[in-house]
C-alpha cells in the first residue's frame, strides 16, 4: 500500500514537472551559455581534464591537452591579477602551434618559438610557458626602468602567482620551486632579499595593487624613453618605501605613507579601528588625504582589514569624493589579507587624483 | 574604473613531435642532428635535452634552457 502511494506521488510530481521540462532544459542551457561566455577559461579547464583522461588511451589528444592546460591556467591567473589591478597584464593568452606549414611566417614576424615537450614533462612545459608569458606579456614597457634584480624578483613572483592558481593535483609549482626559484634565489643573495620583500607585499595584497600598478603607470608615462639613473633610483626608492608598509602589523594610531617624486606620486592610508577612528571619527583621515592631494599625490590607496574598518574605508572614500573635486575616479577591491598568519577580509580603495 | 583593455597575448609553441619536421622545413635538421647548432647566448651545443626556443635574428637562432640565456632571450621580445 505504501509502495503504491509512493508511485502515485512520484507520478503526480512527474506530471507537474514534465510540461515544464522543456523550459527547465532551456533555462539550464541558457545558464550554461552565460557561464561559458563569462568564464571561458574555466570551460577550458574542464575540457583539459577530459583530454587528460583521454591521454590514457593514446596520444591523439596530446597537443590539445598541453594547449588547454597552459591556456586555462594562464587565463584564470591573468583574470585574477587584472581584477587586483586592472590592465596590469594582457587578457590572457592564445596558444598557437607552429608546424612545418606555418613556421616561416612566424619566423618572419619575429616570433620567439618555445619548445614544448611531451605531456609527461608538462610541469616543465607550464613553467616555460608561464616564464615566456611573463617576459612577453607583463609590464613590458615598464620593466626597463627597474634594476636587474628587481625585474627578476617581480618576474619570479608573477610566475609563482600564475602557477599557484592550479587547484588540481598538478605539480608544476613544485617543479618551479625546486628547479627555478630556489636555485635562482640561492645563487643571488640580493635577489633573495628582494624576493622575500615581494612575497611579503603579496601576502599583504600590495604586490599587484600598488607596486606593479604604479610601476606600470610610470612605464606608460615614460616608455620608450631610455632609462636613466633617475628612473632606476626612483623605482628602487619606491620599492624600499613600500617595505615598511608590507611589514606593518597593527597599531592604535593613523598609519600613513607618502611617496611623491617625479613619476610616482602615491599616498597610502591604513584605516584602523582603534585610536582616532573611535574618538574623532573620519575627520583626521579626511584631513590627511587632503594634505596628500595638496602635496601632489596622484593615487591615494586606502586600506582596511576586518568588517568595521572596511565600512569605515568605504565611508571615508565616499566623503572625500563628495568633498574634493580633484578626486575624479576610484576603484574598490575586496580581498583577503594576512595578519600574523590570520586570514582577514580586507579592502583597498584607490582614489585617482587630477594632476 | 576602466583602464586599458589589453588584448590577448599570442604564444607560439612547437611540440617535440613536430620539431624535426619544422627544422627540416627551415633546412636546419641535418645541422641539429650533427650537433652543429649552438646557443646564441652561451655557445653551448643545442640538443634535445637543453633546447628552449628559436627565433629569427639575422638567420634562425637558438637558445638553450640556462637561466642566463632565458633572461637574454627576454630582451629579444
Q: Does B20 touch chain A (CB under 8 A)?
A: no
| Chain A contact for B49 (CB, 8 A cutoff) | no
Print the SS3 string covering A164-218: CCCCCCCCHHHHHHHHHHHHHHHHCHHHHHHHHHHHHHHHHCCHHHHHHHHHHHH
Contact call for A117 and B2, based on CB within 8 A? no
- The three grid cell numbers given for residue A45, joined into one nine-digit string: 579547464
Q: What is the pLDDT of residue A80?
A: 87
Alpha-carbon distance of A328 to A326, in angstroms, equals: 6
Q: Which residue of B has its CA nearest to A184?
A: B67
In a 3-state reduction of DSSP, which class is residue A247?
A: helix
Nearby residues of A161 by Cβ (< 8 Å), 6 or more positions away: A77, A81, A202, A207, A208
Query: How many CB atoms are located within 10 Å of the residue A31 CB?
Result: 10
Task: Give the C-alpha separation, B64 to B72, whole Å.
Answer: 11
Chain-chain contact of A112 with B73 (C-beta, under 8 angstroms):
yes
Which of A73, A78, A86, A107 to substitute to test the interface with B, most B CBs within 10 Å? A107
DSSP string, A56-106: GG-STTHHHHHHHHHHHHHHHHHHHHHHHSTTSB-S-EEEEE--TTTHHHH
* DSSP code of residue A142: T
Chain B: closest CA distance from residue A192 (Å): 16
- Cis check for the bond before A224: say yes or no (omega within 30 of 0): yes
Instruction: Determine, for residues B8 and A93 on separate chains, whether the beta-carbon distance falls below 8 Å.
Output: yes
> How far apart are the C-alpha atoms of A125 and A76, rounded to whole Å?
17
Give the CA distances from residue A329 to residues A235, A325, A332, A352, in Å, rounded to whole numbers and listed in that order. 25, 10, 10, 5
Nearest CA in chain B to A155: B71
H helix and E strand count, chain B: 3, 3
ipTM: 0.92
pLDDT score for A261: 93
pLDDT number for residue A170 = 61
Identify whether the C-beta of residue A131 lies closer than 8 Å to the C-beta of residue B45. no
pLDDT at residue B52 is higher than 60: yes
User: pLDDT tens digits for A81-95?
Assistant: 888 888 888 888 899
Q: Give the confidence band of B4 by pLDDT, cuts at 50, 70, 90.
A: very low
pLDDT at B3: 43
Chain-centroid distance of CA A239 in Å reads 18
In 3D space, the residue among A68, A172, A66 whose CA is nearest the CA of residue A119 turns out to be: A66
* pLDDT score, position A355: 78
Across the beta sheet with A93-97, what order do the strands follow? A93-97, B9-15, A113-116, B51-56, B60-64
Q: Give pLDDT, residue A165.
A: 74
| Residues in chain A, pLDDT under 50 | 252
Q: Exposure pattern of A252-263 as b/e (b: 16+ CB <10 Å)?
A: eebbbbbbebeb
In this prediction, residue B5 carries a pLDDT of: 52
Position B1 scores a pLDDT of 38
Amino acid at each position: 500500500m505504501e509502495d503504491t502511494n509512493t508511485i502515485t506521488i512520484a507520478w503526480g510530481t512527474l506530471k507537474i514537472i514534465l510540461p515544464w521540462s522543456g523550459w527547465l532544459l532551456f533555462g539550464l542551457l541558457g545558464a550554461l551559455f552565460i557561464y561559458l561566455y563569462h568564464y571561458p577559461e574555466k570551460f577550458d579547464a574542464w575540457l583539459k581534464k577530459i583530454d587528460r583522461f583521454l591521454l590514457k588511451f593514446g596520444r591523439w589528444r596530446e597537443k590539445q591537452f598541453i594547449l588547454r592546460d597552459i591556456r586555462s591556467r594562464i587565463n584564470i591567473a591573468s583574470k585574477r591579477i587584472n581584477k587586483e589591478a586592472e590592465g596590469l597584464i594582457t587578457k590572457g593568452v592564445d596558444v598557437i602551434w607552429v608546424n612545418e606549414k606555418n613556421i616561416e611566417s612566424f619566423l618572419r614576424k619575429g616570433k620567439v618559438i618555445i619548445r614544448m615537450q611531451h605531456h609527461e614533462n608538462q610541469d616543465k612545459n607550464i613553467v616555460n610557458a608561464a616564464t615566456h608569458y611573463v617576459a612577453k606579456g607583463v609590464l613590458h614597457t615598464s620593466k626597463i626602468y627597474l634594476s636587474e634584480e628587481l625585474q627578476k624578483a617581480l618576474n619570479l613572483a608573477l610566475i609563482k602567482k600564475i602557477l599557484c592558481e592550479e587547484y588540481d593535483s598538478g605539480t608544476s609549482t613544485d617543479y618551479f620551486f625546486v628547479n627555478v626559484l630556489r636555485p635562482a634565489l640561492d645563487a643571488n643573495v640580493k635577489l633573495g632579499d628582494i624576493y622575500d620583500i615581494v612575497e611579503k607585499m603579496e601576502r599583504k595584497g600590495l604586490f599587484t595593487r600598488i607596486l606593479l600598478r604604479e610601476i606600470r603607470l610610470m612605464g606608460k608615462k615614460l616608455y620608450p624613453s631610455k632609462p636613466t639613473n633617475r628612473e632606476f633610483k626612483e623605482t628602487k626608492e619606491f620599492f624600499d618605501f613600500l617595505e615598511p608598509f608590507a611589514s606593518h602589523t597593527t597599531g592604535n594610531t593613523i598609519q600613513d605613507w607618502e611617496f611623491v617624486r617625479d613619476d610616482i606620486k602615491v599616498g597610502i592610508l591604513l584605516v584602523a579601528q582603534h585610536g582616532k577612528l573611535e574618538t574623532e571619527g573620519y575627520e583626521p583621515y579626511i584631513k590627511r588625504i587632503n594634505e596628500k592631494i595638496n602635496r601632489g599625490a596622484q593615487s591615494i590607496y586606502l586600506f582596511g582589514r576586518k568588517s568595521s574598518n572596511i565600512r569605515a574605508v568605504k565611508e571615508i572614500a565616499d566623503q572625500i569624493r563628495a568633498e574634493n573635486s580633484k578626486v575624479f575616479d576610484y576603484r574598490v577591491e575586496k580581498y583577503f589579507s594576512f595578519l600574523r598568519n590570520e586570514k582577514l577580509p580586507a579592502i583597498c580603495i584607490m582614489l585617482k587624483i587630477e594632476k | 574604473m576602466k583602464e586599458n583593455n589589453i588584448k590577448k597575448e599570442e604564444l607560439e609553441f612547437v611540440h617535440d613531435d613536430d620539431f624535426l619536421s619544422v627544422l627540416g622545413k627551415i633546412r636546419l635538421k641535418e645541422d641539429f642532428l650533427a650537433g652543429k647548432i649552438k646557443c646564441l647566448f652561451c655557445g653551448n651545443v643545442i640538443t634535445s635535452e637543453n633546447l628552449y626556443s628559436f627565433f629569427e635574428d639575422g638567420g634562425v637562432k637558438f637558445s638553450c634552457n640556462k637561466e642566463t640565456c632565458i633572461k637574454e632571450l627576454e630582451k629579444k621580445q
